[in-house]
Each structure stands twice: as structure tokens, then as C-alpha cells.
Structure 1
Amino acid sequence: MLVLIGPTAVGKTALSLSLAKAWNAEIISGDSMQVYRGMNIGTAKIMDAEREGIVHHLIDICDPDEAYSAADFQAGARAAIEAAASRGKLPFVVGGTGLYIESLCYDYKFADNGSDEAFRREQESFAAEHGAEALHRKLAELDAETAERLHPNDLRRVIRALEVYHLTGRASSDQLRGEEKQSPYELCIIGLAMDRTELYRRIDKRVDLMLEQGLLDEVKTLIAGGAGVHSVPMQAIGYKELVQYLHGECSFDEAVIRLKRDTRRFAKRQLSWFRHMRGIEWVDAGENFHNNLQRIHAIIAGKFKDHLEYTSNQSFVDGGNFQ
């Protein structure tokens, strides 16, 4: 299984198309927000017309009011991997949601810790009265590692992490750390990184482009379709900031500032997660990236040298724009 990871705006999507063509692959999205229909601009979702004939899995499979977990992703991705392999295609996971990708690569066994609806409602009421930040601080006191990886406005996952602790007396991060982390796959994991200043510049530029493309109208459409303040779309970065503007909590300019700030913080959390993953071959995706493209293909060839039937007839190095 080929895997491409990295923070938001680093260039994963464009590179993934080139690699998929060169290695006869089908792409499995490892993004927790791209599963939702209607969340297109704010998630930088690759649309049908942009996929260049490459099959993509786990995109647009849920409505915004549906719950979707890491365990759901794991099950769906496994099915997609089997389907791709049955067609003689290389399964290729691309994304930036660390828990989703790591749970798939190393076959995490998600414990069925049960649920406590009364406890969830209690935490939702606490957040409504005291604010999402206060609820996030409660989690940080019990499970600092999970709190670091979750944005305070990601109420659904913050509450679930609190619920797991409430039900089991153990932090979610402790449970994951206890996994053996054995992979059922022959893995090749490529990580894209770049100078932090350049990454932040690209994030700001991407936000500006999303706004030009109609992100505000996308948020309005989701709200008109019934997405509530605690629904997944309204908690996601790029959406919650504009909801604050629409609710009169800040000016449009302030919402844009918050959106860029929150996206930079999100990228930092992504990198923090990936730093703890093993087996990643890191590649600089900065201004000299084209010089590193051949190295990426060499890494893949080295990992899959006994399975070269995946290789297409295309040249390993093309002149695509991965910016």
C-alpha cells in the first residue's frame, strides 16, 4: 500500500495524481472532512472533472449530519483496498488526518467502549454554557495528548474523548499507544514537508482562493440545508469561522484572519501527529521539489521492487505542477 501524507496545502493532491498514473493506482482519501457531501471548497476536495480518470474512494459518502469515525474510515478503506487490489491496482492512501491513516496502516483495533448519551448531553450543555475552550481544557487535564491533536471547536471528537475516559478510566491516547502497531500491508509511506514560513504563505494563499471560489456561499448552503452549529461542517476549519461572521460574532475580515490562523495551527497539529508515526520517508516539497520527484519514485520502486506489475507505462518523472 502506498501512502502520501503531509500538512494541509503542502501539495498532496496534485502529486497524488501523478503518482497514481505512474504506479497504476487507485486513490483512497484519508481526509476526515472530504467524506461529507457539500463540503467541497473548504476541504479543497478534488472534484470529478479534476481526477484525470483516477478512481477515488471515500469522497462524498456521507451527508453533513451523519457521524463518521476513524473506525468507519478504517472499515471503508479496507474495503477500498481490497477492491483496488482485485482489479490489479495499487491501493494509494492520500490525506492528512493522522488518526485515520495511522489506524489503517497499523491495523488499530478500536475498542467498543460503549456510549453514555446522558454524559454526552451533559458535555454539550457545558460547552454551550462555558464555551468550547472550557470543554477542551477539561479534556487537556485528562488526556493532554488527545487534546493537543483536537481543535477546541471539534466538539464531537472532544466529547467522544471525554466519554471514553468517563467509561473506561483510560485516555484515548493511552489505548492507541498500547497497540502493537503491526501492519498487515507492505507499506511505502511518503511524507511531504516544507519550510514552515513557506507552508504558512501557501495556507494564506489557499484561504484567499477558497474565498474567491465561493466558500462563504458554500457555508450558507450548508446552513440552509439544515447543518446545525454542532454539526461536522460547522465545526470544521474554514466553516466555523465564517459561521461566526454570519452570526454577527465578528467582522468578515476578522473571520478571515481567524481562518488563516486556525488553518496554520491545524497544519502544526498534523505535523505533530506525523512526527510520532514510524516508517515515513520525508521529502522536501518546497521550491526544489521537482528535483526530489525522481527520489520519490526511487523510494517507491525500492519498496515495491517485487511487485512492479503495478507500474504503468508512463515515465516516472513528469513535468506536472505540484504547487
Structure 2
Amino acid sequence: MNDNCGLVVIAGPTAVGKSKLSVELAIAFDGEIVSADSMQIYRGMDIGTAKITPEEKKGIPHWGIDIIDPDTPFSVSDYRDLADGWLRGIWQRGRLPFLVGGTGLYIRAVTEEYDFSTFSGDAAFREKMEQMARREGPEALHRQLAFVDPATASRLHPNDIRRVIRALEIYEFTGKRLSESKQSHGDTRFPVLKIGLTSENRELLYDRINRRVDLMIEQGLLEEVSGLLRRGAHKDLISMQGIGYKEIIEYLEQRLTLQEAVERIKQGSRRYAKRQLSWFRRDPEIHWFAIDTIPWDQLYNACFKLVKEFRQQVSNTVVIKEDGGTAK
């Protein structure tokens, strides 16, 4: 990777306004956007993942969205390899890349020197663990992980079955703990500016999340999930374990009422936002802005100034629009 090129990261919890800010900054700085969202990689999963619409993109190229089918295996290292190619292309075009999303591990893998385990895995072991999860619940797997690798278990939610199984798999076949064998060295791979969006008023953020879920239902989330199932997706796929999909499947299987499913989606989304904030708060390099304590115009202008100063420090190849002003 070219260490003379810069990258702007815009991170934060779900429903906080990352997409809007990144598009406006990309317009001002002749940029392109790389998504750092582990669910928006899937084709056909649009409503439940709150993908940005063509109108919202405002002509800005977006990478990392709709790149694989829901039944395709995909790892963090796969994402890092693809993201490296996207970034290289953006830099070669003389443009400024923005890495935008709420999947902290994706952002860390791209921006920091990261040591990925070379162990490819064992399908039979994964199937055995998946059957155990279905039979005894995800908590059983999580307790098993806590016994052999407490450090990894402490940062993984019990419902994050795929990563829990991966950690167990690495320990089972290599004798190494994931917390020891797969970790960031903390050294950045190239100059990075990190901007974080949050909300000081947690209830305001939760209200935004709840309203987003209601909008998903209005936009046709039930029909989207039904269509995926008709085309061969099934509930045991990692993709279909995402928040919003597994609950609607339970509704379609008549194990939940629609009201119960919607409330579980809202609850799961709120809990996910808390975990995202906890992850990002550990990064001292993030410049934080609370969306409920600063007007949009001021927030945009403050971020514009940060990006302008950063870009001038690392490269003169991109022409910055001096009249960027307040985004409309």
C-alpha cells in the first residue's frame, strides 16, 4: 500500500448519520466511499441493512456494497484484501477515499497492520458447532469459548455465532487462542483521519433506531426476507442471522407475532449500537461529534476543516474545493 496516501474514516453506531456526512464530504473533496459494513456486502439484502439509495449517493462511487450472495462464505481477511484494491484504485485516480461504517473489525483490519490466522478451517467442526447452537442455544457455545479463550469471549456477543465458532475452531485445531493469534499490532498502514459520530442523548439515538426499523417494515422488509427464502437462502446462513432477518424469519415461521418480531429487531439494534459505541470509544484517535449537541451545518463545517487540514498534510494530488462551505 502507498503510505503517502491518506484515508478518512467515518465511524459510529447505526442510524447516526454516517452516510449523509460521508457523501457531502466526498462531494467537497472529490472522494469515493468504501463501505465498512459487514451486512451491506450481501446482494439482495437492502432494506434490512439500510443500504444507501442511488439518490442518497448523489453520484459518489461506493465500494463494498452488493459484492457477494447471501450464501457465500466471507471473512475479515477477504474484506481487507478487497478493500486494499478499492483504496489503491481510488488513490491512483487521484481521489480521496472515505472508509465509512459501523463494523469496527473491518475498519481496524483496513487501517492497521493486522495478523490474520492462516488456518483455513474445518467444515465438519463448524457444522458440529452449528448443530450444538441450534440444539442448546448460542449461550452454550459462548460458555465453551469463555472456558478456553476468556479474552475473546468477553468481546463477542453470544449471538455472534459465526465468530464464536471461528474462535473455537482456531483453538481446537491450532491450540492457539484467537485473542493471541489474531490481533492488531496497532501500527497504521497509511495516514488516517478518524471521525466518529455519536449521540450524547442515548434515548435520541434509540428513537432514531426505532424509527428506522419502522421504516424498514413500511418499505417491505417482510417481502425482502420472503424473497430471499424463495431464492434458496435459509435461516442457518450467517447472512440470515443478521438483525432484522432472523426475527422476520421467526415471524414467517409463526414463532413470533409481527409486533414481537419488530420489537426484537428494535431491541437487537439498540444493543448492537451500544456494542459499536463501546468498540469505537476505545480508539483515542477518533475525533468525536455528537449529533444532538451541534447543528448539522456546524458539524459538517468542523469535519470539512479536519479533512482539509489532513489532506493538505498527506498529499497535494487532490484538488480541494475551497468553497466547500456548508453542505446542502
TM-score category of the 2 structures, normalised to the smaller one:
over 0.9
Q: Kindly state the Cα deviation for residue 145 of structure 1 after the two structures are TM-superposed.
A: 4.5
**CA distance 1:296–1:308, change in 2 (3 Å):** farther
Change (3 A) 1:235 1:314: farther
1:292 paired residue number: 299
Q: Which runs of 5 or more residues in structure 1 are unaligned?
A: none
Identity rate of aligned residues, in percent? 45
Q: Which residue of 1 aligns with 2:138?
A: 132
Deviation at 1:287, TM superposition (A): 5.0
The verdict on how the C-alpha distance between 1:311 and 1:3 changes in structure 2, with shifts beyond 3 A counting, is farther
CA distance in 2, matches of 1:97, 1:110: 17
Q: Are positions 1:317 and 2:325 aligned together?
A: yes
Determine the structure 1 residue equivalent to 2:80. 74
Partner of 2:193: 188
CA contact (8 A) 2:301 2:326 kept: no
Q: In the alignment, what sits opposite 1:29?
A: 35
Q: Helix, strand or coil for the counterpart of 1:281?
A: strand
- Once the two structures are superposed, the pairs formed by residues 154-193 of structure 1 within 5 Å of their partners are 154-177=160-183, 179-193=184-198
Question: What amino acid sits opposite 1:317 in the alignment?
Answer: G
Change (3 A) 1:147 1:215: farther
| Structure 2 gap segments, 5+ residues each | 1-6
Q: Which residue of 2 aligns with 1:56?
A: 62
TM-score normalised per structure 2 = 0.91
Range with bigger deviation, 167-176 or 210-219: 167-176
Which AA in structure 2 matches 1:135? Answer: L
In structure 2, how many angstroms separate the alpha carbons of the residues matched to 1:225 and 1:85?
Answer: 38
Q: One-letter code of the match for 2:60?
A: I
- Structure 1 stretch displaced more, 74-83 or 248-257: 248-257
Residue aligning to 1:42: 48
Pairwise CA distance, 1:148: 4.7
Aligned to 1:205: 211
8 Å CA contact 1:30, 1:93 repeated in 2:
yes
- Of 70, 84, 92, the residue aligned with 2:90 is 84
The normalised TM-score by structure 1 is 0.93
Aligned to 1:98: 104
The one-character-per-residue Cα deviations of 1:276-296 (angstroms, maximum 9, x if unpaired) are 234111111225242222221
Distance, in Å, in 1 between the alignment partners of 2:101 and 2:52 is 12
Q: Residue 74 of structure 2 aligns to which amino acid in structure 1?
A: Y
Deviation at 1:103? 1.0
Task: Give the distance between the partners of 2:221 and 2:288, measured in 1 at CA.
Answer: 32
Specify whether residues 231 and 5 from structure 1 end up closer, same or farther in structure 2 by C-alpha distance, changes over 3 A only. Answer: same
Q: How does 1:229-268 map to 2 (within 5 A)?
A: 229-268=235-274
Q: Which residue of 1 aligns with 2:222?
A: 216
CA distance in 1, matches of 2:281, 2:226: 36
Q: SS of the residue aligned with 1:267?
A: helix
Paired residues, number: 319
* Cα separation, 1, equivalents of 2:158 and 2:261: 17
